[in-house]
């Protein structure tokens, strides 16, 4: 199973889009393994965005993700889940995101693009470990709908 870390950024929380976005992920058939509302502090933001340190937008990125609460989730599914979620999310710039994607339907500006999703299975594991302790994740649970989602 692949895991994807999802962050519903401050704009998604402030605009009341947590429910609609999580609904899309669940209705697609993805399984929640962890979910929490939290305030990201600067140290956590720097750790999460470490690959961007030194870039011109790094300070603004850290400032934004720490500006208001976020909802952090881990979703999982069979191989290909990262790619599936990234397709659902849409391209980084909401103005160029396809209709039907989360960013295409709810966003307008690149600096307010609503959601983060891991970009690879390795990133999914690394990012999950940054935001969740193992005891906060429920990895092995069966949904009654699983046989109707997966062959």
Domains within the chain, CATH numbers bracketed: 2-39+71-149 (3.30.70.141)
Contact partners, residue 94, CB within 8 Å, separation at least 6: 103, 104, 106, 107, 108, 109, 110, 112, 113, 114
Catalytic site residue 52? Answer: no
109 exposure class (CB count in 10 Å sphere: 0-12, 13-18, 19+): exposed
Per-residue model confidence as pLDDT tens digits over 53-62: 999 999 999 9
Gyration radius of the chain's alpha carbons: 15
Which among 3, 9, 31, 116 is annotated as catalytic?
A: 116
Per-residue model confidence as pLDDT tens digits over 2-38: 999 999 999 999 999 999 999 999 999 999 999 999 9
139 has a pLDDT exceeding 90: no
Triad 48, 126, 112: Cα angle to 5° = 40
151 has a pLDDT exceeding 90: no
Write down the mean pLDDT value for the chain. 96
DSSP-based three-state secondary structure for 33: strand
């Amino acid at each position: 199973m692949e895991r994807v870390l999802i962050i519903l950024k401050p704009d998604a929380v402030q605009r009341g889009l947590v429910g609609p976005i999580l609904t899309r992920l669940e209705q697609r058939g993805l399984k929640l393994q962890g979910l929490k509302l939290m305030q990201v502090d600067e140290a956590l933001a720097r750790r999460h965005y470490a690959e961007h340190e030194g870039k011109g937008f790094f300070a603004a990125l850290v400032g934004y993700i720490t500006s208001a609460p976020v909802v952090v989730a881990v979703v999982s599914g069979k191989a290909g889940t990262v790619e599936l979620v990234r397709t659902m999310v849409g391209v980084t710039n909401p103005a160029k995101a396809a209709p039907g994607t989360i960013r295409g339907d709810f966003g307008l500006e690149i600096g307010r693009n609503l959601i983060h999703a891991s970009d690879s299975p390795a990133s999914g594991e690394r990012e999950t470990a940054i935001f969740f302790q193992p005891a906060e994740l429920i990895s092995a649970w069966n949904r009654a709908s699983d046989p109707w989602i997966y062959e």
